[in-house]
């Protein structure tokens, strides 16, 4: 059984690369999680988890991470990735991820709407939404990436 994460942070970054995978890797590096192994998870933030914006995760660690990403090789195209954490005073939180061909402002509105819907569906009070988003205009081949890494 895996332990329940106690810390998290939100991050978003974009980068160019010579291949789709290196563009993704370069975005991870800029997002401060390029030297860990991501374990993609769905969208629940544990009740005890606290935001730690200065969190440093040891290289090589297996890191539960909710994330959205998009890669494009269309020069001039605008791509975006966003994550949001919805918080409730007395319960767990909800994490939502988004990526698409839009502006950062559009992505932020979409992701906030997703969080609101998740709380409405669960019948839980929403007290706060935290968002991280990035927009990138593709030069040659690029990745936009946003994530909520969870840690112990």
**Catalytic residue from among 14, 43, 69, 72:** 43
Low-confidence ranges of the chain (pLDDT < 50): none
Identify the residue whose tokens are 């839009």.
102
Is 19 in the active site? no
Query: Can you give the pLDDT at residue 90?
Result: 82
Question: Within 10 Å of residue 25's Cβ, how many Cβ atoms?
Answer: 16
**Catalytic residue from among 42, 54, 56, 139:** 42
Query: Can you give the pLDDT at residue 121?
Result: 97
Q: Read off φ and ψ for residue 64, nearest 5 degrees.
A: -60, 130
Query: Can you give the pLDDT at residue 71?
Result: 98
Distance of CA 126 to the CA centre of its chain: 19
Query: Can you give the pLDDT at residue 2?
Result: 82
- Set out the domains of the chain in order of their start, with CATH numbers: 7-151 (3.50.20.10)
- Judge whether 83 and 9 are in contact, CB under 8 Å: no
Is 120 in the active site? no
């Amino acid at each position: 059984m895996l332990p329940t994460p106690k810390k998290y942070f939100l991050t978003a970054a974009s980068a160019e690369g010579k291949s789709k995978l290196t563009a993704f890797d370069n975005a991870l590096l800029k997002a401060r999680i390029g030297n860990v192994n991501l374990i993609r998870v769905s969208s629940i933030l544990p009740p005890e988890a606290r935001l730690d914006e200065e969190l440093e995760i040891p290289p090589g660690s297996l890191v539960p991470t909710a994330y959205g990403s998009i890669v494009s090789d269309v020069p001039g195209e605008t791509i975006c990735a966003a994550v949001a954490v919805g918080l409730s005073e007395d319960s767990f939180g909800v994490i939502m991820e988004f990526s698409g061909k839009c502006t950062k402002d559009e992505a932020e509105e979409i992701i906030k709407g997703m969080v609101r819907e998740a709380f409405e569906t669960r019948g839980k009070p929403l007290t706060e939404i935290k968002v991280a988003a990035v927009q990138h205009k593709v030069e040659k081949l690029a990745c936009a990436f946003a994530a909520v890494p969870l840690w112990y």
